Structure 1
Amino acid sequence: MLDRRLNAFRTDLAEKRLEGQVEALRFVEGRPARLIASTTAMRPQPSTTSGMDTELLFGEPVSVLDRANGWAWVKSGVDDYVGYVEETALGGPGAEPTHWVTAPRTFVYSEPDMKRPTATALSMGSRITVTGEAETRGTRYLLVDGGAVIAKHVAEVDMPISDDYVSVATRFLASPYLWGGRSGFGLDCSGLVQLSMMMTGKAVLRDTDMQRASIGTEIGRNELKRGDLVFWKGHVAIMVDAGMMIHSSGFTMDVSHESLADAIKRIEPMYGLPLLCRRPS
């Protein structure tokens, strides 16, 4: 059975590529759009009372399959996740992004001056189109639609910022836990893995079960080293070394370090022992 998180199909409508695989009244090609909100909740149902499955970042591309009653049914161009977003979060296809944010969080200033009001804040991984540059009191800014960003907080789009995704993950220490979050403003466990890997040029799927089934190769717990992943039922952690890990934890409600031994002891009564360990390729 096709995974509805990665394949867009309903009884009335489905994406064109699924024709012949699923039954639907109509099959459509999605229309391109980009996110214009700082972060956007993607939900399984078109309602603000529906929980957040995942989060889309400013400038990320989506394919719009349907629009109705203020909601859009979309498929992410980053990881193929399917769900509903509020229409107000979407703009047109727009110009291709030239840069992406490399700081955990940064501000868009109304003018190229840190003393001026801020227009919004962006997370690491947000994609922007730079139209020029300016310098104010020795600080270099890049100009974007609606303001300016600190130049050292961005890099050319899709350029890896490190070859060590663990070092990227540690930049989010003390960031709050957020179910479905994948931004510098809040992350869940698999969101931390996905965002950190994305910034080092590694594309991985979104949810814990998807990552457990697809990332790298399975290894034994006695083989663990930096960068390996440990999976429990519904949870994933990143090994910092053979004994310590970093994860976005619903226990501490933030991104934190914890020893693997302590985590196993704490988690076992509720969710059992780790299911498996994987080494990213």
Structure 2
Amino acid sequence: MSDPRLTPSNGRVACESLRDSVAADEYVAGAARCMCVPVADLRRAPDGPRDRQLLMGEQVRVLEEREGWAFLQADKDGYCGYVPKSALRAPSVPTHWIKAPSSHIYETANFKSRDVMALSFASQITVLEMEARFARTQDGYVPLQHIAAIGEVERSPAQVARLFLGTPYLWGGNSRFGIDCSGLVQAALLACGIPCAADSDLQERSLGREASGNPVAGDLLFWKGHVAMLADNKTLIHANAHHMAVVLEGVDVARARIAAQGDGEVTRHVRF
């Protein structure tokens, strides 16, 4: 059975590529769009629960617009769901991404001017012009210190994950304003140019190779329903509901705590 999270079909419409495998009333190619709000919940159904989130500038393919909602598939990981139609605009080719934990778009090229919106790490922008200290976008001005060119990648997933320390835990979250365990891992790996699925069960099945020997920074440990990254050989960095934040925690302490709360032992240890 196809995983509905990754299947661009809702019964009424389906992606043209699924014509021979999925039943639908209509098969469509879909239309390219991009996100125009800082963060939007990607919902299981219109007004339904949040499954994941999409960030400013991320590219999507819209398969259906209906009653103010858009059914879409995200380019970055293939995840499907619904966002408000108002969270989307015509696609533009992103030129840069936010490399700081978070940033602001300002009304003018002046840090004392009104801030228009806050952006999370990994948000994408299209720079129209570079000025002395700011990049001009269609929404306003972003500090040059906070951006990197599309295609420029980080080298250490563990160092990227540390940018999120203190971020509040949010089930299904993908931003510096709220994130969960798999969202943290995805953000860290994508920033380093490593393709990564959205949810921990998908990550466990698809990421890395079985690790041998002692843990090293960047390794991933999986439990049923949870994933954590090694910050070093004795310390995890993970978003978790116990601390309700992204924290550093000793590997042995975390393993004992997770087992004691009834979630079992590590199910997989992978390395890149």
TM-score bin, normalised by smaller chain:
over 0.9
Picking from 74, 77, 98, the partner of 1:76 is: 74
Report the Cα distance in structure 1 between the residues aligned to 2:22 and 2:139, rounded to whole angstroms.
Answer: 43
Task: Give the conservation status (yes or no) of the 8 Å contact 1:100–1:158.
Answer: no
Pairing 1:53–2:45 present: no
**Unaligned residue ranges in structure 1 (runs of 5+):** none
Picking from 226, 229, 235, the partner of 2:220 is: 229
How far does the alpha carbon of each residue in 1:215-272 deviate from its partner, in whole angstroms, 9 at most, with x for none? 011235x532111100011100001222111001111011100011111111113211
Report the Cα distance in structure 2 between the residues aligned to 1:158 and 1:203, rounded to whole angstroms.
Answer: 13
Instruction: Report SS of the residue matched to 1:238.
Output: strand
For 2:208, the equivalent position in structure 1 comes to: 216
The residue identity in structure 1 corresponding to 2:191 is: M
For 1:120, the equivalent position in structure 2 comes to: 117
Pairing 1:109–2:106 present: yes
**Unaligned residue ranges in structure 2 (runs of 5+):** none
For 2:265, the equivalent position in structure 1 comes to: 273
Report the Cα distance in structure 1 between the residues aligned to 2:207 and 2:155, rounded to whole angstroms.
Answer: 17
Picking from 252, 255, 261, the partner of 1:264 is: 255
Instruction: Report SS of the residue matched to 1:27.
Output: strand
Superposed counterparts of 1:140-155, under 5 Å: 140-155=133-148
Superposed counterparts of 1:137-216, under 5 Å: 140-160=133-153, 162-216=154-208
Instruction: Report SS of the residue matched to 1:73.
Output: strand
Q: What's the CA shift for 1:156?
A: 0.6
Runs of 4+ in 1 over 6 A off after TM superposition: none
The residue identity in structure 1 corresponding to 2:232 is: D
Pairing 1:39–2:31 present: no
Pairing 1:97–2:94 present: yes
The residue identity in structure 1 corresponding to 2:24 is: A
The residue identity in structure 2 corresponding to 1:55 is: Q
Instruction: Give me the CA root mean square deviation.
Output: 1.1
Count of residue pairs the alignment pairs up = 271
Report the Cα distance in structure 2 between the residues aligned to 1:191 and 1:72, rounded to whole angstroms.
Answer: 22
Pairing 1:241–2:232 present: yes
Q: What's the CA shift for 1:83?
A: 0.2
Instruction: Report SS of the residue matched to 2:258.
Output: helix
For 2:14, the equivalent position in structure 1 comes to: 14
